[in-house]
């Protein structure tokens, strides 16, 4: 060890101390009444629809607290059919338990069954890091609102699991189901399709078509199953929802929101550049057999492109943070991970100081985007001592 170099154990303990400090940001969660404000919208429409379309029902008559229309895809509405006989409080108890259990499974899947890397340090370090991730602002915010993005991440995790085992078509289908449930995973599908188009080794040149075609086919199937509702959703509801941007007073991280309505083209250009960075990085990672990083990066990017995106949607970045933690254990390079934890889980109040000229929500988004871009550059380069051309896993 060189003079003044900090050993890996000390760096891990410093990260733990920082993440424990970040838990203080939970007091900044804009708590609403009733508990589960997002789920309340789904719950009230489930109870008042009576065989009609949720897209034509009057939101205030249905009992939505803020008179919000139903903006979600028909597959998501059908998924929550089970809440009809339940009260909102009972629904939230069940849903909160599901979210916690599902995310434990998601982190286990990425850490043990999807990545090729194994913990280089003590196993308790990975467990402690995951526990602290679930105590951070984005995840607890998702619990408070009764957010539904966990289902997206769950289906996408299944897609990643299938992908690293060479089941490319089935992986695409699972990602397509995630897109049918909620549209944001379409960005991850687009990024991974681009990755496979850029990296086309001999014998696997059509993987991009298998993955992209499987995703598109499964997505279309989720619409055809609910054809009448899907038609209303695509032509009547979605155009109106797509024009909504995250309110400035809310914590958010949507690129189009922060760029503003006057510079829509520039916002889409920034989003395209972010996606292109991960297409390039993912292709290089895939070329050396690290499909997990490519898949996790594509998922992390997906939550920044829609015009409406809140901080509880940032749970989609958790697989990437976990993989960066495993990398830090192996390489003793913790700076990128610490930067990511600051950007994703740092205290929002630091960027909401009244009258501040520098520490603004725009700086916060810039830090998040900087983290994603730097992560892409790091992922694109093999670590020291790692071969640059490990073959990707072959389909079985």
Residue 284 confidence (pLDDT): 96
Residue 354 confidence (pLDDT): 73
Residue 390 confidence (pLDDT): 41
Residue 392 confidence (pLDDT): 43
Residue 145 confidence (pLDDT): 96
Residue 393 confidence (pLDDT): 44
Q: Take residue 174 and report the two structure tokens written for it.
A: 């699972």
Residue 270 confidence (pLDDT): 93
List of the chain residues with pLDDT < 70: 1-4, 119, 246-251, 384-396
Q: Domain residue spans in the chain?
A: 99-380
Residue 3 confidence (pLDDT): 54
């Amino acid at each position: 060890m060189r003079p003044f170099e900090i050993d890996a154990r000390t760096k891990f303990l410093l990260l733990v101390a920082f993440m424990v400090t970040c838990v203080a940001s939970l007091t900044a969660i804009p708590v609403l009444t009733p508990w589960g404000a997002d789920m309340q919208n789904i719950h009230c429409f489930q109870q008042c629809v009576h065989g009609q379309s949720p897209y034509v029902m009057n939101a205030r008559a249905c009992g939505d607290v803020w008179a919000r229309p139903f903006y979600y895809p028909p597959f998501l509405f059908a998924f929550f059919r089970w809440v009809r006989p339940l009260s909102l409080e009972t629904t939230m108890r069940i849903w909160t338990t599901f979210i916690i259990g599902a995310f434990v499974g998601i982190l286990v899947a990425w850490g043990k069954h999807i990545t090729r890397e194994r913990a280089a340090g003590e196993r308790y370090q990975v467990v402690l890091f995951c526990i602290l991730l679930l105590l951070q602002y984005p995840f607890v915010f998702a619990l408070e609102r009764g957010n539904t993005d966990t289902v997206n991440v769950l289906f996408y995790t299944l897609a990643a699991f299938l992908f690293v085992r060479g089941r490319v078509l089935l992986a695409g289908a699972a990602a397509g189901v995630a897109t049918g449930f909620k549209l944001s995973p379409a960005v991850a599908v687009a990024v991974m399709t681009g990755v496979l188009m850029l990296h086309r080794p001999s014998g696997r040149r059509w993987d991009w078509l298998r993955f992209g075609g499987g995703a598109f086919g499964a997505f279309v199937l989720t619409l055809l199953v609910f054809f009448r509702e899907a038609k209303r959703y695509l032509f009547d509801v979605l155009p109106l929802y797509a024009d909504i941007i995250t309110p400035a007073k809310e914590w958010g991280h949507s690129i189009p929101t922060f760029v503003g309505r006057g510079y829509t083209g520039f916002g889409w250009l920034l989003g395209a550049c972010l996606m292109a960075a991960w297409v390039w990085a993912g292709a290089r990672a895939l070329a050396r057999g690290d499909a997990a990083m490519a898949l996790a990066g594509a998922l992390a990017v997906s939550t920044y492109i829609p015009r409406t995106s809140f901080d509880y949607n940032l749970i989609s970045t958790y697989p990437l943070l976990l993989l960066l933690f495993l990398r830090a254990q192996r390489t003793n390079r913790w700076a990128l991970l610490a930067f990511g934890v600051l950007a994703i889980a740092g205290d929002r109040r630091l960027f909401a100081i009244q009258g501040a000229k520098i520490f603004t929500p725009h700086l916060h988004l810039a830090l998040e985007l900087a983290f994603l871009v730097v992560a892409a550059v790091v992922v694109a380069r093999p670590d020291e001592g790692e071969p640059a051309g490990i073959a990707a896993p072959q389909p079985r």
